[in-house]
Amino acid sequence: MAAGRKILAPDRKTRVRRGTPRSRMMAIVTACCCVVSTSANAAAVDCAGTLSGVYTTKAGNVLVLSSWRGAWTQVCNLNSEWKGVPAQTCWGWFAKINTAVAQVLEVRFHFPDGTSAACDQYLTWENAPSPEYVMLLDP
């Protein structure tokens, strides 16, 4: 062994200095791991079933009572954009929803954000996430 050279014990950790190529690489790897784990938890959720009710408020909010949630949940707003859903899209959804309620047809709501593992755990009223689409299913 060369004089003046210090050997670390096997159980001691070496320290990575800031600004070195190794520290930058570790930061990149850590960031990638965080993104991958976030993506894995943010899976899309499809909720399908029947709607037993729909109502609109004077402000234009459209709320549905779904079989998968069992509570009133806002879907969109007929007068203005709500959580990324334009008013003109809401009018199309409103027509589908009213048809589904009147004819007791099944619908599917697709939620891309994956804020819940199950449809019965989504937030209700205006706290609900906005769906990506509303689909009227064939009987």
2-14 burial string, b = 16+ CB within 10 Å, else e? eeeeeeeeeeeee
Other residues' Cβ atoms within 10 Å of the Cβ of residue 22: 11
Please give the residue that has the higher pLDDT: either 22 or 37.
22
Query: Residue 38: pLDDT band by 50, 70, 90 thresholds?
Result: very low
| Percent of the chain at pLDDT exceeding 70 | 66
Return d(Cα 100, Cα 64) in angstroms, integer. 11
18-47: average pLDDT: 57
Is the entire prediction scored with pTM above 0.75? Answer: no
| Domain boundaries defined on the chain | 45-136
**Six-digit token string for 113:** 């954000």
- Structural element, H or E, at residue 90: helix 87-103
Query: Residue 45: pLDDT band by 50, 70, 90 thresholds?
Result: confident
Return d(Cα 61, Cα 55) in angstroms, integer. 8
- Position 90 scores a pLDDT of 98
The CATH-assigned architecture of domain 45-136 is Beta Barrel (2.40)
Query: Residue 80: pLDDT band by 50, 70, 90 thresholds?
Result: very high
Q: Is 35 exposed, middle or buried (0-12, 13-18, 19+ CB in 10 A)?
A: exposed
Please give the residue that has the higher pLDDT: either 124 or 90.
90
